[in-house]
Amino acid sequence: MGRAWNDLLMDDHRTTEKVFAAMERAFAALKPPPPEMVAGMLEYFGTYLDQCHNRKEEDHLFPLIERRGIPRDGGPLAVMLMEHEQSRAILARLKPLAESYSGGNAGALVGLRDTFAEYVGLLKDHFWKENDILYPMAQRVLSEADARAVVEGIEATEAKLGQGTREKYYGLAERLATAGQVEDLSLGLDRAVLATILNTLPVELSFVDAEDTVRYFSHEDKDKIFARSRSVIGMKVQNCHPAKSVHRVSKILADFRSGATDVAEFWIDFQGKKINIRYFAVRGAGGDYLGSLEVVQDITRIQGLKGERRLLQYE
């Protein structure tokens, strides 16, 4: 089953935000950004973001949700359309500055940097409004047939720009992100803060590397559903399971390694609780197998939830 229309559009947002981050870093550096990086930025913004991403919404999503009762005049849809036009106006000012800079005019840098900041400031806020306000509204009014029609429209818009349009421009975005040394957000966290976050999660985590060796488990100093001690670090995971279940563990890891599957899930009754146990293949950016993440969760309380609780309440 393919990705839903909102996931496809938010994929565009996430990919574009990497370009934003890369160029923000490049413009903030003491050394001016390479001309080819600025040229790549302009190509991405002008062709993919404006002529492709925005057209997906304007030609397919927006008219359909208008027909389903979300008015074009006033409200979130009107704001999104207005901001599309604002972004085009800024892009029109950005284009000659970027072309001039890429052509060797270093004097264009200040105007280019300031106009870029204006463009990105508008679109960061715009993406948030779409992700958190407009798209959820649209999901509530669109039927399954409508949703499929939007996906088909997204694919048609990309096809107009040539075969493999999404892959081409996502690849460009990744090259810009690499050139701009854009890192995973978690790398910006202090190690102690990241460790505390992992230990605060309502799930217990264990990581086994590509050689089936245990490298990490969370909640070390807290009570755990399945007891673990530091002695397991460095052990083969097969040696950490009862003999009767080793073949299952080995099969899961073999399937992860081969790419046959990415998830395995079990649930058991344990000490009066319902325990959900999930295994996830961990893969690098290139799809290479890095190991397996085990996630253990007591879902007893979750199973008993009824109705809704919308107001903040403390027990």
Task: Please give the backbone phi and psi of residue 283, each rounded to the nearest 5 degrees, phi first.
Answer: -125, 145
**DSSP structure string for 8-58:** HHHHHHHHHHHHHHHHHHHHHSSSPPPHHHHHHHHHIIIIIIIIIIIHHII
- Cβ–Cβ under 8 Å, residues 52 and 161: yes
| Same CATH fold assignment for domains 5-182 and 191-303 | no
- Residue 312 pLDDT: 62
Q: Return the number of other C-beta atoms located less than 10 Å from residue 108's C-beta.
A: 19
Which of 60, 48, 40 lies closest to 13, judged by CA? 48
d(CA 245, CA 238): 9
Nearest 5°: the CA angle 180, 184, 186 is: 140
Which of 66, 53, 56, 60 lies closest to 141, judged by CA? 66
Per-residue pLDDT of the chain (315 residues; tens, 9 = 90+): 589 999 999 999 999 999 999 999 999 988 999 999 999 999 999 999 999 999 999 999 999 999 999 999 888 999 999 999 999 999 999 999 999 999 889 899 999 999 999 999 999 999 999 999 999 999 999 999 999 999 999 999 999 999 999 999 999 999 999 888 887 777 778 889 999 999 999 999 999 999 999 999 999 888 888 878 787 888 899 888 778 888 889 999 999 999 999 999 999 998 899 999 999 999 997 889 999 999 999 999 999 999 888 766 655
Residue 66 CA, chain-centre distance (Å), reads: 28
Q: Which fold has domain 5-182?
A: Four Helix Bundle (Hemerythrin (Met), subunit A) (1.20.120)
| Distances in whole angstroms, Cα of residue 57 to Cα of each of 13, 53, 137, 154 | 12, 7, 14, 8
- Cβ–Cβ under 8 Å, residues 17 and 185: no
The sheet that has 263-270: what strands, in order across it?
A: 214-217, 204-209, 289-298, 273-283, 263-270
- Match 């991403």 to its residue by tokens: 53
d(CA 189, CA 166): 31
Per the confidence metrics, is the pTM higher than 0.85? no
- Cβ–Cβ under 8 Å, residues 7 and 135: no
Quick one: CA torsion of 94, 96, 97, 99, rounded to 10 degrees?
120
Length of the chain: 315
Which of 223, 209, 216 lies closest to 191, judged by CA? 216
By CB neighbour count within 10 A (0-12 exposed, 13-18 middle, 19+ buried), where does 87 fall?
A: buried
Can you say whether the dihedral through the CA atoms of 114, 120, 125, 126 is positive or negative? positive
d(CA 255, CA 166): 29
Q: Could you state, in order of their start, the residue ranges of all structural domains in the chain? A: 5-182, 191-303
Q: So what's the architecture of 191-303 in CATH?
A: 2-Layer Sandwich (3.30)
- Cβ–Cβ under 8 Å, residues 101 and 26: no
